[in-house]
Amino acid sequence: MSETESGTAWRAYTGKGLPPILETALACFMEHGYHGTTIRTVASRAQLSVPGLYYHYASKQALLVALVSHAMEDLWRRSTAALEEAGDDTGRRLDLLVECLVLFHAHQRDLAFIAYSEIRSLTGEARTTYIAARDRQQRLMDGVIEDGVTRKDFTTPYPREASRAVVTMCTGVSQWYRAEGEHSPQELAERYRVMTRMTVGAPADR
């Protein structure tokens, strides 16, 4: 069982968790963008020859696909573990899913940013697969908020729109968060928890 599939370990971030080549590719994509990065640049920074890099990843597109896949799979595992910890209480399910989203997009800022911003660079089946994973992730929040409205725990008249707004707010953290900023990821998650409860029409207190 992986670290993010047990207990409260979905909150733990002890490194990027990426193979060294992907860590290098991620750094290059952050610095130069996907289209501005060459295979030769990634290979050089990874201390590999170009053929040596191709042995592991067949193309620059394959590097991007591997990064995006890792991001979406890790976020999914953490999100489902958070919901499992929350149990059946709708308010707690909302709280922990928001916490999970904020922590991921703060701690894994670069990875999340590339997964979001470079969707335009994915092609063919890879793009289709990514969109399906993104939609599956969105449906987790949809389900939590719709369930809360059904149980009358949340009062928003627009559960689907509220769900999109909450997810957009949480994922947007990767676009501006800095580790040296005013708030830690956990402090930020608490603020977002309060704002989210206001958005869906739930009491701010736990």
Task: State mean pLDDT over 19-27.
Answer: 96
- pTM (2 decimals)? 0.91
Residue 89 carries which DSSP code?
-
Token look-up 């707004």 returns: 165
Between the two ends of the chain, the Cα-to-Cα distance in Å is 30
Cα 8–Cα 11–Cα 13 angle in degrees, nearest 5: 130
Half-sphere exposure of 60 (CA within 13 A, CB side): 16
C-alpha–C-alpha distance, residues 128 and 135, integer Å: 11
Give the tens place of pLDDT for each residue, 42-95: 999 999 999 999 999 999 999 999 999 999 999 999 999 999 999 999 999 999
C-alpha–C-alpha distance, residues 130 and 128, integer Å: 5
Helix (H) or strand (E) holding 185: helix 185-200
- Predicted confidence band of residue 5 (pLDDT cuts 50, 70, 90): very low
Give the tens place of pLDDT for each residue, 126-182: 999 999 999 999 999 999 999 999 999 999 999 999 999 999 999 999 999 998 889
- Residue (of 185, 124, 138, 188) closest to 166 by Cα position: 138
- Predicted confidence band of residue 7 (pLDDT cuts 50, 70, 90): low
